[in-house]
A and B are shown apart, each in its own frame.
Chain A
Amino acid sequence: MTRAIRNYLVFLRRCLGIAFVGDWRYYLWMGLLTVGCLLGLNAYAKQLAHGLIVTGMSDEVSWGVYIANFTFLVGVAAAAVMMVIPVYIYDNEELHDLVIFGELLAVAAILMCLAFVTVDLGRPDRFWHLIPGIGQLNFPASMLSWDVIVLNGYLLLNLHICGYLLYCRYQGRKPGRWFYIPFVFVAIVWAVSIHTVTAFLYVGLGGRPFWNSSIVGPRFLASAFTAGPAMIILALQIIRRITEYHITDKALLTLRSIVQVSMLINVFLLVNEVFKEFYSGNLHVASSRYLYLGLDGYHALVPWIWTAIVFNLVAMFLLVLPLSRSLRWLNLTCVLCIIGIWIEKGMGLVIPGFIPTPLGQVVEYRPSFNETLVCIGIWAFGLLSYTVFLRMSVPILQGRLARSNEGRGAEVASAAPASSPTRL
Chain B
Amino acid sequence: MSFPDPQPHPAVPPAADVSRRSFLRTSAVLTAGLAALASSLRPLFEMDDFPSAERFMQKYYKELTPEEMAKVLRRIEGEVEKQYGIRPHVRDLRPMDGVEFVYALNLTRCIGCRKCVHACVQENNQSRDPEIQYIRVLRMPHGSLDIDKAEHNYAPESVPEKGYFYMPVQCQQCRNPPCVKVCPVHATWQETDGITVIDYDWCIGCRYCEAACPYWARHFNFAKPAIPKDRLNPEMAYLGNRPRLQGVMEKCHFCIQRTRAGRYPACLEVCPAGARKFGNILDPNSEVSYILRTKRVFIQLKEELGTSPRFFYYFDV
**Which A residues lie at the B interface, using CB under 8 A?**
34, 38-39, 41-42, 45-46, 48-53, 57-60, 62-63, 87, 96-97, 99-100, 117, 120-127, 129-130, 135-138, 141-145, 148, 165, 169, 174-175, 180, 201, 204-208, 246, 283, 286, 353-354, 356-361, 397-400, 402, 405, 408-409, 411-412, 415-418
Residues of B within 8 A of A201 (CB): 208
Total A-B contacts with CB atoms under 8 angstroms apart: 227
Of A42, A59, A175, which one neighbours B210 at CB under 8 angstroms? A59
Report the minimum CB–CB distance from A94 to chain B (whole Å).
Answer: 12
A409–B211 CA distance with the chains assembled, in angstroms = 54
Residues of A within 8 A of B40 (CB): 38-39, 41-42, 45
Residues of B within 8 A of A96 (CB): 1-2
Q: Does B185 contact A (CB under 8 A)?
A: yes
Mark B7-28 against chain A: 1 for CB-CB distance below 8 A, else 0. 1011110110000000000000
Per CB-CB distance, the 5 closest pairs between chain A and chain B, nearest first, are: A122-B205, A399-B6, A207-B214, A122-B247, A144-B184
Contact B186 A41, beta carbon cutoff 8 Å = no
Contact A205 B211, beta carbon cutoff 8 Å = yes
Residues of B within 8 A of A87 (CB): 1
Given pairs A60-B216, A201-B208, 20 additional interface contacts (CB within 8 A): A38-B36, A39-B40, A42-B43, A51-B222, A59-B222, A96-B2, A99-B1, A117-B206, A120-B206, A122-B221, A123-B204, A127-B204, A130-B184, A207-B214, A353-B211, A358-B215, A399-B5, A400-B6, A408-B14, A415-B12
A174–B1 CA distance with the chains assembled, in angstroms = 9
Q: Does B89 contact A (CB under 8 A)?
A: no
Mark B200-235 against chain A: 1 for CB-CB distance below 8 A, else 0. 001111111011111110011111100000000000
Contact B6 A402, beta carbon cutoff 8 Å = yes
Contact B7 A399, beta carbon cutoff 8 Å = yes
A368–B163 CA distance with the chains assembled, in angstroms = 40
Residues of B within 8 A of A353 (CB): 211
Of A120, A180, A358, which one neighbours B214 at CB under 8 angstroms? A358
Q: Does B84 contact A (CB under 8 A)?
A: no
Residues of B within 8 A of A34 (CB): 33
* Chain A: CB-nearest residue to B188: A138
A25–B115 CA distance with the chains assembled, in angstroms = 66
A26–B145 CA distance with the chains assembled, in angstroms = 62
Contact A49 to B44, CB < 8 A, known contacts A125-B51, A129-B202, A206-B306? yes
Contact B211 A62, beta carbon cutoff 8 Å = yes
Q: Does B97 contact A (CB under 8 A)?
A: no
Residues of B within 8 A of A99 (CB): 1
* Chain A: CB-nearest residue to B18: A411
A93–B50 CA distance with the chains assembled, in angstroms = 55
Contact B152 A361, beta carbon cutoff 8 Å = yes
Report the minimum CB–CB distance from A85 to chain B (whole Å).
Answer: 14
Mark B227-250 against chain A: 1 for CB-CB distance below 8 A, else 0. 000000000000000000111110
A34–B35 CA distance with the chains assembled, in angstroms = 13
Contact A357 B216, beta carbon cutoff 8 Å = yes
Q: Does B181 contact A (CB under 8 A)?
A: yes
* Chain B: CB-nearest residue to A139: B184
Of B147, B183, B213, which one neighbours A360 at CB under 8 angstroms? B147
A42–B246 CA distance with the chains assembled, in angstroms = 19
* Chain A: CB-nearest residue to B61: A136
Report the minimum CB–CB distance from A122 to chain B (whole Å).
Answer: 2
Q: Does B262 contact A (CB under 8 A)?
A: no
Contact A359 B206, beta carbon cutoff 8 Å = no
Contact A360 B205, beta carbon cutoff 8 Å = no
Residues of A within 8 A of B155 (CB): none
Contact B7 A409, beta carbon cutoff 8 Å = no
Residues of A within 8 A of B39 (CB): 42
Contact A49 B185, beta carbon cutoff 8 Å = no
Contact A63 to B41, CB < 8 A, known contacts A286-B148, A360-B149? no
A399–B247 CA distance with the chains assembled, in angstroms = 50
Of B9, B183, B245, B302, which one neighbours A142 at CB under 8 angstroms? B183
Contact A142 B181, beta carbon cutoff 8 Å = yes
* Chain B: CB-nearest residue to A405: B11
Can you name 8 A-B residue pairings with CB atoms under 8 Å?
A49-B43, A121-B206, A121-B247, A135-B60, A144-B206, A360-B138, A400-B6, A409-B14
